[in-house]
Amino acid sequence: RSSTPAGTEEWRSRGARVCGVQPDRELLARILGLTFQSFPEGNAWQSFHEMHQNCDPDDELQSKAEACRIPGAGRACFYGVVIANACIAEMFAQFPEELADMYEDGLLAARNLQSLMHSSRKVLELFDLANLAYKLEDLATITSAYVLAIAAFDEGVPPHEAMRRMRSFDASWVAGTWNWLRANATAQQNLAMVSFWRWPPPSVHYNPRLQQQQQQQQQQHAEGKLQQLVRIWAFGTQCSVVAEPVAAIAHLLRERFTLAVTWRGAKDYCQYHSGDWPVIQADPNSAVRRVFDVFWTKEDEVRQPGGILTGRRDFVKTPRLFEEAFHEALRFEEGDAFWQADLVLCTEPFNVCAVAHEVGKPVLGYIVAHMAFLLKDATDHLHIYSRFTDSLSKDPRNTFATVAPYVSMQMFHHLPTEVPAIRPTSMYTHPASYAGSQAGTVLLNKRPQYFWQGAMIAAVAEAIFRKNHNNHNNNNNNNDNNNNNINLPQPLSFATECRQCSFQQLADFRAAVFFPYDWLQTMAFYDFINMAVPTFVPDTPFYTYSRGTNGRGEGTEWLVSTWSAPRAADPFHYNDWDDTTGRMYWWMMTDFRVLPGVSLFSSAAELVSGLLSEASLLSSSATLREARQLRVDLARGFYQDALLRALFAPPVAAGHPDDVLPSLQDAFAFPENSSGVRFSFGFRGSGVGSVRDVEAHALVTCAFWAALVTRIVLAMWRSECLASRKGYPAVRAEKEGLEAQPQDDWGEEDSEAEELPDSEEEPPDVPAEVLDAWEKDETVISIMKAFTSKDYKGKGAMPYRDVFRLLEIIGLEKDEFVAGMVDGADDNEDFDYSALEGLDFQK
């Protein structure tokens, strides 16, 4: 390259390209002429789809040859358009001063590339297989330099001003670069950390008597003295996901537990399951399923700059009303099937876990996607995080796990709870196992999407094999000592559909090529590897641009958190799609890349070589079997402990975590003289590094704050409410010009409540804003805002979580407070005073 901007040194090792050698205005003008005519302004995806289908260079594959025009006729092949935009963007990034009069062209080209990379339609999914001048890692490197400039340009900043925000290239998708090594080291560190996580988390310490009781029950089971019947009520929207824990328990613990399962919620793919276990049944029309169908919706596709539509997002409308309706369905429709269940199994939406817990049921939560995946608003996200931390995780009967370390680390970002990863064992596929009897056929697996042309892709792959088949066999004949390959009697064929296949028929294919969808939500990948089918997956962070697991909301819902996670353990936010290094880190956290035995490929040549090598396939299958056995051993212990906790741990009263039954008052013991929870990020015996103890914020010691604030509230209430003998309904009536009605238990002269005696000691200092709000008779929300807005006693603003604890003490619903905070309700109009009626403020 004639010039070397910062950040290009590592990337340049890939070799100079025409577009990066010099500022070639003639080449730029020709390319701009092509892209100006070819990049669509209207329905971009329809135009791209036609380019994909009609402009294949192989004449045999043209389904509509008459519609395939040459670029000069106004229609370019799609990959040609992509390469043209990459060339323009690279040239402008390399030579911004020489091409200063054409800034807008460079910005538009880079924005087009970014939109194509981020689209959920995965239009660039096969880009690396085409052996083009650019690869996906190059597109990521180019667009990384434009991130800030594109954002400014989209906000209306003039092109010459926006280009001043260009930044250095980030080549972290290129193996061996410094940022790639950094992402890899961080991923390996966190994978090791999550491998040591177990349930219950270290933030909850059970009473020794409780532990002894569970150990006795476990010993009786180990000696075969008990054969326990466990009634499970299971709700989930995907059959294989909700079937995973049940099948694992039924097969791995059949000598100790007998299961009776009520299946609710799932509809899709249930017909593939069979065997000698409580086989999952589809739920087409139960009351709880009807409730979910009413509240489940999809929002319209999100339109990005350049006319490109990025995808849809599923969510549950009005989660609070959904929970109320779900509870009513449980109460009046489910009957004994739910209320006599020993355990509730829940997957998604996670609100179901919260509802089941709050009505008093032990919960086994198997989290396959982001906990708040089906929640849209930041308020709802915070609410579910708070309930999980304050209540669900602290009930000794409950057990939670994620499907993979990836999801565990996502949760760790939002809440200070170490949720272990229990990867699927796919025991519902038993006894299916890899046989490879269809030696000439490879299963090509992909959940259908807009750009997925399975038949065409299979035909292209078969054409590649035809071209390489003779040379491959000739090479083998000339090398008798080469035992890594076999002579195939005919080229490989590819199956793109197997709708009625049993699991054993799936395991009969020579291998499986798996293209991820919204990856950690699908079980097909785990089914393949658990049956030891050699499985090939493209190795690219491109798949981290996925709303299914990495939701990129238009608002701030993915950014809210109940704590600040240690930077060393959480350096990259999964939501930041503009962080190229972060995308590589999260890809390195996926099971696609880290599980032993999975075959990764970055080019068509790597895929062809792997599929033709019988020795490689057999070795991969053996490794997959060994790795599965480790997962099975971990799952066996995990689910056994989960059932023992659900059956024998003391119950917790429905409602808030403070409402524990007397038998459980001392079940939780927190460290004395501790300012917080000690999270150990140590990797003992892992060889990763030394033990590091990170002091988290004092979230679980908010009892101290609650007691302090309670004294303040009581002092203020005594002076204003009791002294004047005027209850809050009277205040409300006075504001509305109505006559206050006498109350049965507090407030007016009829009340038999005694006035609290004066305190002998002065209450602590109260922020002036709180006193002013109280004197002005403003709403509780205004008072709480004052608590959270100013420095209090030298300790900073009171965290929302501590305010929530205060609200619990006086009985105010969190939802009302959070809604008021988010909406900015400073006056009485936005506050529901009915939430305060009937409260015992003397308490």
% of the chain surpassing 90 pLDDT: 34
Per the CB < 8 A criterion, the answer to whether 650 and 667 are in contact is: yes
> Please, which residues have CB within 8 angstroms of residue 183's CB and are 6 or more apart in sequence?
172, 572, 581, 582, 584, 585, 588
Residue 253 pLDDT exceeds 80: yes
Phi, psi at residue 259, to the nearest 5°? -105, 140
Beta bridge partners of 257: 228
CATH 3.40.50 for domain 433-546+593-632, yes or no, is yes
The alpha helices in 3-144, defined as continuous H runs, are: 18-21, 25-38, 44-54, 78-94, 103-118, 136-144
Task: Read off the tokens for 451.
Answer: 């750009």
> Please, which pLDDT band fits residue 483 given cuts at 50, 70 and 90?
very low
- The predicted-structure confidence for 740-780, as pLDDT tens digits, reads as follows 343 333 333 333 333 334 434 444 445 555 556 545 545 55
197-428+633-664 topology per CATH:
Rossmann fold (3.40.50)
Cβ neighbour number for residue 229 with a 10 Å cutoff: 10
Residue with the bigger pLDDT between 101 and 843: it is 101
Residue 564 pLDDT exceeds 60: yes
Residue 522 pLDDT exceeds 70: yes
Task: Read off the tokens for 546.
Answer: 């996925």
Give the pLDDT score at 600: 96
Cβ neighbour number for residue 56 with a 10 Å cutoff: 20
In this prediction, residues 101-108 reach a mean pLDDT of 87
Tell me, yes or no, if the pTM score tops 0.95.
Answer: no
- The predicted-structure confidence for 272-305, as pLDDT tens digits, reads as follows 888 889 999 888 889 999 999 999 887 655 555 4
Task: Read off the tokens for 666.
Answer: 């001392």
Residue 823 pLDDT exceeds 80: no
Residue 683 pLDDT exceeds 80: no
* Whole-angstrom distance, CA of residue 224 vs CA of residue 279: 25
> Please, which pLDDT band fits residue 793 given cuts at 50, 70 and 90?
very low
Give the pLDDT score at 445: 84
Give the pLDDT score at 27: 83
Tokens 């009807």 locate to 290
* Whole-angstrom distance, CA of residue 186 vs CA of residue 588: 9
Give the pLDDT score at 477: 54
Q: Tell me the C-alpha to C-alpha distance, in Å, between residue 523 and each of 86, 669, 779.
A: 35, 39, 50
Give the pLDDT score at 555: 59
* Whole-angstrom distance, CA of residue 376 vs CA of residue 318: 9
In this prediction, residues 261-267 reach a mean pLDDT of 91
Task: Read off the tokens for 268.
Answer: 């899709």
Residue 174 pLDDT exceeds 60: yes
Give the pLDDT score at 695: 35
- The helix/strand/coil state of 261 is strand
Ordered DSSP codes for 497-512: --TT--HHHHHTEEEE
Lowest mean pLDDT, pick from 35-49, 219-233, 573-587, 716-730: 716-730
> Please, which residues have CB within 8 angstroms of residue 530's CB and are 6 or more apart in sequence?
424, 425, 426, 429, 624, 628, 631
Give the pLDDT score at 421: 97
Residue 816 pLDDT exceeds 80: no
Whether 197-428+633-664 and 433-546+593-632 share one fold: the answer is yes
Task: Read off the tokens for 181.
Answer: 């090594």
Residue 224 pLDDT exceeds 70: no
In this prediction, residues 162-181 reach a mean pLDDT of 91
Residue 34 pLDDT exceeds 80: no
Beta bridge partners of 495: 443
- Examine residue 200 and say whether the peptide bond preceding it is cis (omega within 30 degrees of 0): yes
* Whole-angstrom distance, CA of residue 323 vs CA of residue 320: 5
Domain ranges of the chain: 11-171, 197-428+633-664, 433-546+593-632, 702-836
